[in-house]
Amino acid sequence: MNARTSETMPAALRSARALQAAHYVGEEMHELDRRAVFGHSWQLVAHHGQLAEPGDHVVDTVAGTPVILLRGRDGVLRAFPNVCRHRAGPLANCSGKGMHNLRCKYHGWLYDQEGRLIGAPEMQDAADFVQGDVHLPRLRTSEWQGLVFLALDPAVPEFAEVYGGIAERIAPVNLSTMRYTRRDVFDVGCNWKVYVDNFLEGYHLPLVHPGLSRLLDYRAYDVQLYPW
C-alpha cells in the first residue's frame, strides 16, 4: 500500500480524517479529477425539454471535451464531440433548434445526423481520402426522468447500474413531470470536492443556515454509501 492509498482508505468514523490539502489544489490534481472522475462517469448535460424535437441540439463541455447532443429526425438522441475530424473546428457554436446536419464552422465539412461525413469541399482530389471512412465518434447518452446524461469513456458502467434504485428512493417525486424553464450557472471559487464535502455534512447548519437548522436535527444527518 503506497502513501497516497493509505491517505484515502476509509477509517472508523470516530477517527476518520479529511483528505489532505493536496487533493484540493493544483493543476495536477485538477487534471487527475478531470480524467478519472468527470471523464469516467455519467455527467448531466441537458434537460429533455431542450432536446424534445428533431433538430434540437445542445452544446456543452464535459471534462474539458466540447460535445454536441442532437435529436435526429428519427427521434434518436445522439451525441458527438463538437469537433470536426479535419482540423478540429466546431460543428456548432451554441445550443438551439432546427439543425438538419452538422457543418464545421472552419472549413465547411458536412456530417449527417448520424455523424457520417457527407460533404468535404475541394477534397475530391486529395490522395487516399475516402469520404465514407470519416465518421464522428459516437458518445453514450442516457435519458432518465427528463434529465439527459452523457459519458465520454466507453468503459463507464451502464447508466441503469450506476443510477439503479434512485427513482425508488425519491418516490413519489418524479422529475420527468417538471418543465424546463432555464439554466443558471454559478462559478464557485473552490475545488469541487470542497463543495461536495460541504453538502455531505450538516455540522455548519446552525451558523450558516439557522432557518434550516430549526427544521431538522443535523446530528441525525445520515450518509448512506452504495456502490456508485
Question: Given this model, what pLDDT does residue 2 score?
Answer: 44
Q: Find the distance separating the first CA and the last CA of the chain, reported in whole Å.
A: 23
pLDDT tier for residue 45 given thresholds of 50, 70 and 90: very high
Q: Which CATH number is associated with domain 43-177?
A: 2.102.10.10
Domain with CATH 2.102.10.10 in the chain: 43-177
pLDDT tier for residue 37 given thresholds of 50, 70 and 90: very high
Gap between the Cα atoms of 144 and 129, Å rounded: 40
The mean per-residue pLDDT over the stretch 199-224 comes to: 87
The mean per-residue pLDDT over the stretch 169-177 comes to: 94
Lay out the sheet containing 57-62: strands in order across: 57-62, 65-71, 77-81
pLDDT tier for residue 5 given thresholds of 50, 70 and 90: very low
- State the CB neighbour count (10 A cutoff) for residue 63: 18
Q: pTM for the full model? A: 0.87
